Amino acid sequence: MAKEAKDSGRKERDKSGWQAQKSAMMRDTILDAALDCFVTIGYANTTTARIAERAGVSRGAMLHHFPSKSELMQAAVEYLHQKLVGLYASHIEKVPLDLPVDERNRAGLEGYWTYLRSDLYVAYHELCVAGRTDPELQDILEDSIARFDEAIVESNRRLFPEWSERGELYELAMDITKFLMEGMAVSQIVSQREKRVNRMIDYLGDRLEEIFHEGDEVGAAIHRHSLRK
């Protein structure tokens, strides 16, 4: 009798665990479909009906997991955030730490460029553009953007420990890299794109070397600029 009760309890736990796993898989399928919609048809054209269709789920299943579009967008942004952090880290972690700093700079830039060309980044950029005229979406994005920037800073500190004590110089190097490369990623350059992008990455690598090796001079220039404000 006791054995039968024990077996019954185990079966119930197994069933409950499988149902939870199945529910999580369904949830991820819906969120993957949402990200795919952002990339292929844009945020403005993305509806819960289209997401459900792309995910291959019923309207009822969609509402069971996400009763409103607002809740779906909140979950999609968080899901995207986790994937972006993982993707960025995967590219950065491939760079050998025993390379000279200049070679690590270049390898890091190439890894960053690969990341910026991913569908995940396209989805992120699409949401950021849409958030400009959608206050609700912008509110959802703000926390994710801040946390993502923090994650990038920490990943880069592990890859480039030499920059850790550079203070404002490190922030300058980060900003130059971010704004230049993200601008290239969303530009509409078509003619000789690969050649022009490689030329800009080479140029950026040279500027980062200057900032790193001529830190005192660059730091003094930053200080003079801050005094003018």
- pLDDT digits over 175-217, tens only? 999 999 999 998 877 788 889 999 999 999 999 988 887 765 5
Within 10 Å of residue 120's Cβ, how many Cβ atoms?
18
Please work out, in degrees rounded to the nearest 5, the angle formed at the alpha carbon of residue 82 by the alpha carbons of 96 and 89.
5
pLDDT at position 164, please? 75
Q: Say how far apart CA 38 and CA 34 lie, in whole Å.
A: 6
Task: Return mean pLDDT, the chain.
Answer: 85
Residue 5 in this model has a pLDDT that exceeds 70: no
Inter-CA distances, 183 with 88, 117, 178, Å:
17, 12, 8
- Domain of 105, CATH number, reads 1.10.357
pLDDT at position 86, please? 93
pLDDT at position 80, please? 95
Indicate the pLDDT class of residue 23, thresholds 50, 70 and 90.
Answer: confident
Q: Say how far apart CA 165 and CA 174 lie, in whole Å.
A: 14
pLDDT at position 185, please? 92
- Give yes or no: residues 60 and 74 share one domain: no
- pLDDT digits over 87-120, tens only? 999 998 889 989 988 888 899 999 999 999 999 9
Residue 169 in this model has a pLDDT that exceeds 60: yes
- Give yes or no: residues 145 and 191 share one domain: yes
- Give yes or no: residues 109 and 152 share one domain: yes
- Give yes or no: residues 122 and 212 share one domain: yes
Residue 72 in this model has a pLDDT that exceeds 80: yes
- Two tokens, residue 108: 């890091």
Q: Say how far apart CA 44 and CA 126 lie, in whole Å.
A: 9
The number of domains in the chain is: 2
Chain-centre distance for alpha carbon 89: 10
Indicate the pLDDT class of residue 54, thresholds 50, 70 and 90.
Answer: very high
pLDDT at position 219, please? 52
User: In 3-state terms, what secondary structure has residue 220?
Assistant: helix
- Give yes or no: residues 86 and 60 share one domain: no
Crossing angle of helices 193-213/101-116, nearest 10°? 140
Q: Say how far apart CA 124 and CA 39 lie, in whole Å.
A: 9
Q: Find the mean pLDDT for residues 61-75.
A: 90
- H or E, element range at 26: helix 2-40
**Quick one: which of 149, 140, 161 has its CA closest to 68?**
140
- Two tokens, residue 31: 């969120």
Q: Find the mean pLDDT for residues 163-180.
A: 86
Q: Find the mean pLDDT for residues 137-156.
A: 88
Q: How far apart are the first and last CA of the chain?
A: 82
Crossing angle of helices 135-159/119-131, nearest 10°? 140
Residue with the larger pLDDT of the pair 7 and 91: 91
Indicate the pLDDT class of residue 11, thresholds 50, 70 and 90.
Answer: low
Domain residue limits at 182: 69-228
Residue 226 in this model has a pLDDT that exceeds 60: no
Q: Find the mean pLDDT for residues 56-76.
A: 90
Last residue of a domain, one of 14, 44, 67: 67
Q: Say how far apart CA 81 and CA 150 lie, in whole Å.
A: 12
- Give yes or no: residues 77 and 160 share one domain: yes
Residue 227 in this model has a pLDDT that exceeds 90: no
Residue 145 in this model has a pLDDT that exceeds 60: yes
